[in-house]
Chain A
Amino acid sequence: MGAKIIINKAGFHLFYLAAIIFLSGCHAYVLDDAQHDLRSSFISGDYQESSKLLQELEQKEIYKSKDAVLKNLEAGLIHHFAGNFDSSSIFFDNAEILIDDAYTKSISRGFKAMLVNDNTLVYDGEPYEDIYLNAFKSLNYVHQNDWEGALVETRRMAFKMEQLDIRLKGLAEAFAREDTTGRVKWESGKVNIQNSAFSHYLAAILYAKTGKPDDSRIEFEKLAIALREQEKINKRSPAKITDLEKIRNPHSYNVLITAFSGQAPIKKQEDFRLWLNGENDNSFYVKFSLSKIDLYRSRVQNIRIVNDSLQRSDLELIEEMDVVSAEVYKAKIPIIYTRSLLRATIKATGSSYLASSVRDKNKGMGLLVDVLGILGQESSEKADLRGWQTMPGKAWMNVINLPTGINEIEIQYLSASGSILYSEKRTIEITEQTKLGLIESIYSY
């Protein structure tokens, strides 16, 4: 009788813990939906509405403190395209500081993630998100005519890109140090890019315009290297360096046009379920969820600008941010997979051990614990699909020379067949003092 009471207590507590874990797993799905809604709102181009939606999600505590990096990244970009450059830089600053803080914490926070899943952890930003936030910060500074500030951001971007490979290897080494199970080998993939064409393109222009031709030349040479690196991983050919020579001559242009197309890569969940044979004819259930990254297929194949006098020129595809992001993510995949596998194995082994102990005393109760174990794994095992939803997919740039006065520029987003998918007109005032005007545009489809 006494034994029966103990088993009932154990069953009750297991059920209770499973319920709590199940409920905690729910939030991750709510956040996934919120991310989807925010992406849809942003691509519609109504940035006031997107800003409102983000505030609502924050008020409803869907973005919790652990998701602060995400919230700041989204707010940074929404404010950037809404023209609130000061606010945008503040949000991106916050995101950058939080990423820095979270990175060092992330290594020694394994235990909590082993109990539930990565969604319960502080989101420390993907390495590519950490890099591209500086791209938009640098544009914020250019909009505000603070070129020194913009150059600080391009330098940060270049530094982070150069450090990527070392950083991912460092992450794998740190996890290996923390992992006391000794069951798995921690390693990262190789990152095949070390230069950002976007940062070097912008820096070459800014140095040229600030009377530092030598620095501009160095940035231009790095741009050539970056384009060669990207050519190896890109889906299509990036700009040819010979077509970009113009940026080194600061007197040949007074306006920089930057356009963004497409969307950030989409993280998706892949579930794997296995029945494995353990000791004493006991089979146990393992579920693990992995996140994979899918590229958004933009219909935009070319971007053209048409000025007042109907002169046309194409923008150059400078950086396929989405492809670079996928490449960087690919290098992190071995770490993500190892973590998921290790977590699933620990959970499955734990629940199987518990079920077998209970089964020895009460077969029926053992079966119940088995079922609870499966339910617990099903509800708690979820891939971390958090990511910067509003980040654009591709960056296109070019420089042009406009006459003094008010100029109207039409930016046309073209399909593979050359038909106009979307166009928008922008006006810019050029005075004798204008050294570098910036026109920015985005079409997310």
Chain B
Amino acid sequence: MKYAILSTLLFGLLISGCRPTNKINRINPSETTDLSGRWNDTDARMVSEEMISDALTKPWLNQHNRQHQQSPVVIVGNVRNESMEHIDTEVITKEMERAFVNSGSVNVVASSDERQDIRQERLEQQEFASLETMKEMARELGADFMLIGNISSVVDETPDRRTLAVFYTVNLELVNVETNQKVWIGNKKIKKLIERRNYRG
């Protein structure tokens, strides 16, 4: 009987494997958490930090201030995802918007998607809001520069797919809305080497 029980246990172990249990911890959002190897918050943060410091220290800002005696107005355009992963590029552009606004040196206006609701609200105010509080039409701030860009990736993996190398390139550009002149180009490269392990046999 002892052998029968042992056989059952052995067989059960072979069939079932180990069951995971859930454990949740709150951690610092700036802590690096690389779980799957895919694009994650750490990559987005690395890109944003570098792009922000680069954009705010390059000559285009001073040149514009000198020429126009006022801070430039920037609108966020399309940052294309040309990689092999679904990447929310808004995480990067929102970080840049935040840094621009908080720096006090760059003005940011609502993007084309965001302003639809605002325009609708202003339109309705003309009919429904009191005269004292009603906002005027045609007082929008025209953008001087548009932020555009792209994210692309190159993937290389070993035949057994245990090791994967992903190379991301993020390009962001500020384009003069009037002249199409590119006044700033930021570039950030991230290379990841992902070693896949076996979790269970």
Interface string of A166-178 (1 = CB under 8 A from B): 1101110110000
Asked if A234 is an interface residue, CB under 8 A from chain B, the answer is no
Partner of B7, one of A16, A97, A112, A167: A16
Interface residues of B in 139-187 (CB under 8 A from A): 155, 157-162
Q: How far is the CA of A101 from the CA of B82 in the complex (A)?
A: 25
Nearest-CB distance from B167 to chain A (Å)? Answer: 14
* Chain B residues within an 8 Å CB radius of A17: 7, 11
B84 pairs with A156, CB closer than 8 A: yes
A108 pairs with B11, CB closer than 8 A: no
B11 pairs with A20, CB closer than 8 A: yes
Asked if B4 is an interface residue, CB under 8 A from chain A, the answer is yes
Q: How far is the CA of A440 from the CA of B4 in the complex (A)?
A: 57
B161 pairs with A167, CB closer than 8 A: yes
Dominant SS among interface residues on chain B: loop
A105 pairs with B8, CB closer than 8 A: no
Q: How far is the CA of A107 from the CA of B158 in the complex (A)?
A: 14
Asked if A152 is an interface residue, CB under 8 A from chain B, the answer is yes
Interface residues of A in 164-195 (CB under 8 A from B): 166-167, 169-171, 173-174
* Chain A residues within an 8 Å CB radius of B199: 101, 105
Q: How far is the CA of A163 from the CA of B160 in the complex (A)?
A: 11
Asked if B85 is an interface residue, CB under 8 A from chain A, the answer is yes
Nearest-CB distance from A433 to chain B (Å)? Answer: 13
Nearest-CB distance from A3 to chain B (Å)? Answer: 17
Partner of B161, one of A103, A108, A111: A103
A9 pairs with B159, CB closer than 8 A: no
B161 pairs with A148, CB closer than 8 A: no
Interface string of A1-40 (1 = CB under 8 A from B): 0000000010011001100100010000000000000000
A interface bracket (residues with beta carbon within 8 Å of B):
35 or more
Interface residues of B in 74-88 (CB under 8 A from A): 80-86
* Chain B residues within an 8 Å CB radius of A97: 36
B3 pairs with A152, CB closer than 8 A: no
Nearest-CB distance from A24 to chain B (Å)? Answer: 7
B84 pairs with A13, CB closer than 8 A: no
Asked if B104 is an interface residue, CB under 8 A from chain A, the answer is no
A13 pairs with B4, CB closer than 8 A: yes
B80 pairs with A112, CB closer than 8 A: no
With A13-B3, A109-B201, A112-B14 as contacts: A104 and B81 at CB distance below 8 Å: no
Asked if B137 is an interface residue, CB under 8 A from chain A, the answer is no
B159 pairs with A155, CB closer than 8 A: no
A104 pairs with B15, CB closer than 8 A: no
Residue on B nearest A177 in the bound complex, by CB: B160
Q: How far is the CA of A101 from the CA of B36 in the complex (A)?
A: 10
Q: How far is the CA of A20 from the CA of B85 in the complex (A)?
A: 44
How many residues of chain B are within 8 Å of chain A by beta carbon? 28
A20 pairs with B8, CB closer than 8 A: yes
* Chain A residues within an 8 Å CB radius of B7: 13, 16-17, 20
Partner of B201, one of A16, A108, A148: A108
Interface residues of B in 85-139 (CB under 8 A from A): 85-86
A170 pairs with B161, CB closer than 8 A: yes
Asked if A159 is an interface residue, CB under 8 A from chain B, the answer is yes
With A103-B161, A107-B160, A112-B201 as contacts: A148 and B3 at CB distance below 8 Å: no
Residue on B nearest A151 in the bound complex, by CB: B82
Asked if B57 is an interface residue, CB under 8 A from chain A, the answer is no
Asked if A149 is an interface residue, CB under 8 A from chain B, the answer is yes
Q: How far is the CA of A16 from the CA of B160 in the complex (A)?
A: 38
A152 pairs with B201, CB closer than 8 A: no
Q: How far is the CA of A97 from the CA of B37 in the complex (A)?
A: 12
A104 pairs with B162, CB closer than 8 A: yes
Q: How far is the CA of A163 from the CA of B8 in the complex (A)?
A: 42
Q: How far is the CA of A173 from the CA of B83 in the complex (A)?
A: 30
Nearest-CB distance from A319 to chain B (Å)? Answer: 20
Residue on A nearest B81 in the bound complex, by CB: A148
Q: How far is the CA of A223 from the CA of B169 in the complex (A)?
A: 26
Chain A CB within 10 Å, residue with most, of B83, B86, B162:
B86
Interface string of A141-158 (1 = CB under 8 A from B): 000000011011001100
With A169-B159, A171-B160 as contacts: A105 and B201 at CB distance below 8 Å: yes
Nearest-CB distance from B199 to chain A (Å)? Answer: 7
A104 pairs with B157, CB closer than 8 A: no
Interface string of A67-105 (1 = CB under 8 A from B): 000000000000000000000000000000100110111
Asked if B66 is an interface residue, CB under 8 A from chain A, the answer is no
A173 pairs with B160, CB closer than 8 A: yes
Nearest-CB distance from B119 to chain A (Å)? Answer: 17
With A152-B84, A155-B84 as contacts: A104 and B14 at CB distance below 8 Å: no
* Chain A residues within an 8 Å CB radius of B80: 148
Nearest-CB distance from B61 to chain A (Å)? Answer: 30
Chain A CB within 10 Å, residue with most, of B8, B80, B84:
B84
* Chain B residues within an 8 Å CB radius of A151: 82
Interface residues of B in 1-42 (CB under 8 A from A): 3-4, 7-8, 11, 14-15, 36
Q: How far is the CA of A156 from the CA of B7 in the complex (A)?
A: 45
Residues on B lying within 8 angstroms of A by beta carbon are 3-4, 7-8, 11, 14-15, 36, 80-86, 155, 157-162, 196-201
Interface pairs A-B: 6 shortest CB-CB: A170-B159, A170-B160, A109-B201, A104-B196, A174-B160, A155-B84
A-B contact pairs, 20 of them (CB 8 A): A13-B4, A17-B7, A17-B11, A24-B15, A100-B196, A103-B161, A104-B161, A104-B162, A104-B197, A105-B198, A107-B160, A108-B198, A112-B201, A148-B80, A148-B81, A152-B85, A155-B83, A166-B159, A170-B161, A174-B160
Given A13-B7, A156-B84, list of 4 further CB < 8 A pairs? A13-B4, A17-B7, A104-B197, A120-B14
